[in-house]
Chain A
């Protein structure tokens, strides 16, 4: 799912010039981040298919088995957990729920936020006021508290996690979209479209939305990292994803009692979170420059210097 945030800008800008991929290749940090993210998405999609059984297979002789030893085969190379299950397989399978929740949340929040933001920015004052006050209501609740209450009432499950996290993330997309729309709708090309008799739907979808999307993609990349951290915090506290489902945050929580004897139980899943979030942050940094025509020269200038 996360490849959507990656693939989208590439596809969209390809028409305007093939430079975006080569620009990505020039910036080594961003390139490595993109490769890491694609790998993790592949883990998330295909992991449960190939390693699903291995991740739940218990082996009490290999419990808390120390990492970096091929003695018991590659499955226990990163160590075994408290029931002797393969850490390596669990990390790969854990990517599935982690990425699923984060991607579902970001996608849902971005779509709802963008639609409401377009409406709020484009329509009259009353509608706009109602939508913006709604956003204020959401923002004034501490998100952890909403999460705890909703998850307690509805029961902790993956769809409910997505619902709760998405609701708390909507205002960011909403406010950004609205601010951009307010500015874009006053520009000359929109007025030209109005003069030429374009309908509201056409103006919004064909003229305003394409200008807003690069900003949204950049925010979504950054937000993806944030949502992942929020999900793992909730799971860590025990009010998020419940076993037998696994996410990285839950794995850290499960490894905590064994800190003294088996540090790798909590260390690896945390490291996966850090690597993913770091890649997302770096890529978002790069996207912000690459998708902004006013700043793109920074990357292009570097390119001509190298050539």
Chain B
């Protein structure tokens, strides 16, 4: 039985040959079979990505839009209502562990008020809590960068020129200043999106969300190495592609970088 298993998975071969086979299979996009589920590891990983990708995209979309709008408004009136709101959310995001926010959210909104289900997937309502919990930390980080960068941009000469020409407040912030204030923001957005793609391990675990983070921690705990390896390779690839997209976005935003 044991020898059969070793022979089946090539564990009786010399270590170097095992590694050679692994690399060769990798080049053919063959990650081997899951030890637990007896299915190709890559299929399992891609299925998990089909859940994580929309979760990460929706969350990041919300983060980017709200951080840019609220961060710009905060920078426009330093010390005003939006400024305070933004700094409170950032502080909470930096201080509260996400598993605790998730648990409190479940107790209050799912068990107490019964507005949303506690965990699992199926209806759009199932997505509300995970997205809301995942939203807080990246929002707190991105909004601070937006605020700082917009503060610098709003102090520059072309903004004064525009103001002198009689441009109204809102077009001034969102049309004239925003594009120049975006460059540092893009970097942070990239980092945060990478973290989300990497799997919101804890949030996915708590909400029983069948994404890549939950898959990774489950397979690590079950010693399902082929799935772990496949998950890491695919994640690395995804982050690599995203970094390229970020670099392209730099060029689109600022013509000076294209040279």
Residue B217 lies at the interface, judged by CB distance under 8 Å to chain A: yes
At the interface, is chain B mostly helix, strand, loop or mixed? helix
Partner of A259 from the list B95, B103, B220 (CB cut-off 8 Å) is B103
- Stretch from B26-34, B104-112, B121-129, B174-182 that touches the partner: B104-112
- Interface contact A281-B91, CB-CB below 8 Å: yes
Residue A44 lies at the interface, judged by CB distance under 8 Å to chain B: no
- Stretch from A16-24, A72-80, A104-112, A228-236 that touches the partner: A228-236
Partner of B221 from the list A144, A233, A238 (CB cut-off 8 Å) is A238
Given contacts A278-B95, A281-B95, contact A267 B201 (CB under 8 A): no
A238 surroundings in chain B (CB, below 8 A): 221
Partner of A274 from the list B95, B111, B198, B232 (CB cut-off 8 Å) is B95
Residue B96 lies at the interface, judged by CB distance under 8 Å to chain A: yes
Residue A67 lies at the interface, judged by CB distance under 8 Å to chain B: no
Interface residues as binary, B153-167 with A (CB distance below 8 Å gives 1, 0 otherwise) = 000000000000000
- Interface contact B232-A256, CB-CB below 8 Å: no
A233 surroundings in chain B (CB, below 8 A): 97-99, 202
- Interface contact A256-B95, CB-CB below 8 Å: no
Residue A13 lies at the interface, judged by CB distance under 8 Å to chain B: no
Partner of B111 from the list A249, A252, A260, A278 (CB cut-off 8 Å) is A260
- Interface contact B103-A252, CB-CB below 8 Å: yes
- Interface contact A270-B106, CB-CB below 8 Å: no
Q: In residues 264-288 of chain A, which contact B (Cβ within 8 Å)?
A: 266-267, 270-271, 273-274, 277-278, 280-282
B201 surroundings in chain A (CB, below 8 A): 144, 237
Write the nearest CB–CB distance from B132 to chain A, whole angstroms: 17
Interface residues as binary, A211-235 with B (CB distance below 8 Å gives 1, 0 otherwise) = 0000000000000010001001100
Given contacts A144-B201, A237-B202, A237-B205, contact A229 B97 (CB under 8 A): yes
B248 surroundings in chain A (CB, below 8 A): none
- Interface contact B95-A277, CB-CB below 8 Å: yes
Interface residues as binary, B207-244 with A (CB distance below 8 Å gives 1, 0 otherwise) = 00000000001001100000000001000000000000
- Interface contact A236-B202, CB-CB below 8 Å: yes
Q: In residues 125-160 of chain A, which contact B (Cβ within 8 Å)?
A: 142, 144-145, 148
Residue B24 lies at the interface, judged by CB distance under 8 Å to chain A: no
Write the nearest CB–CB distance from B206 to chain A, whole angstroms: 8
A259 surroundings in chain B (CB, below 8 A): 103, 106-107, 111
A239 surroundings in chain B (CB, below 8 A): 221
A148, B213: Cα distance in complex, Å: 14
Interface residues as binary, A237-254 with B (CB distance below 8 Å gives 1, 0 otherwise) = 111000000000100100
A232 surroundings in chain B (CB, below 8 A): 97, 99
Interface residues as binary, B72-93 with A (CB distance below 8 Å gives 1, 0 otherwise) = 0000000000000000000100
Given contacts A148-B220, A237-B201, contact A225 B94 (CB under 8 A): yes
Residue B100 lies at the interface, judged by CB distance under 8 Å to chain A: yes
- Interface contact A281-B99, CB-CB below 8 Å: no
Q: In residues 156-207 of chain A, which contact B (Cβ within 8 Å)?
A: none
A26, B189: Cα distance in complex, Å: 37
Residue A46 lies at the interface, judged by CB distance under 8 Å to chain B: no
- Interface contact A225-B103, CB-CB below 8 Å: no
A260 surroundings in chain B (CB, below 8 A): 111
B111 surroundings in chain A (CB, below 8 A): 259-260, 263
A273, B94: Cα distance in complex, Å: 11
Partner of B217 from the list A237, A249, A267 (CB cut-off 8 Å) is A237
A260, B232: Cα distance in complex, Å: 35
Name A236's closest neighbour in chain B (CB-CB): B99
Partner of A273 from the list B97, B198, B221 (CB cut-off 8 Å) is B97
Given contacts A225-B94, A278-B95, A281-B91, contact A263 B107 (CB under 8 A): yes
- Interface contact A274-B100, CB-CB below 8 Å: yes
- Interface contact A267-B97, CB-CB below 8 Å: no
B107 surroundings in chain A (CB, below 8 A): 259, 263, 267
- Interface contact A274-B96, CB-CB below 8 Å: yes
A237, B217: Cα distance in complex, Å: 8
A274, B94: Cα distance in complex, Å: 9
A263 surroundings in chain B (CB, below 8 A): 107, 111
Name A273's closest neighbour in chain B (CB-CB): B97
A278, B100: Cα distance in complex, Å: 14
- Interface contact B100-A270, CB-CB below 8 Å: yes
Q: In residues 64-89 of chain A, which contact B (Cβ within 8 Å)?
A: none
Closest 5 CB pairs of A and B: A270-B100, A277-B95, A278-B95, A274-B96, A263-B107
25 A-B residue pairs with CB within 8 Å = A144-B201, A148-B220, A233-B97, A233-B202, A236-B97, A236-B202, A237-B217, A238-B221, A239-B221, A256-B206, A259-B106, A259-B111, A260-B111, A263-B107, A263-B111, A267-B104, A267-B107, A270-B104, A274-B95, A274-B97, A277-B94, A277-B97, A278-B91, A280-B95, A282-B91
Beyond A232-B97, A266-B100, 17 additional pairs, beta carbon < 8 A: A145-B232, A237-B217, A238-B221, A239-B221, A249-B97, A252-B100, A252-B103, A256-B103, A259-B103, A263-B111, A266-B103, A267-B107, A274-B100, A277-B96, A277-B97, A278-B95, A281-B91
Which residues on A are within 8 Å of B, measured CB to CB?
142, 144-145, 148, 225, 229, 232-233, 236-239, 249, 252, 256, 259-260, 263, 266-267, 270-271, 273-274, 277-278, 280-282
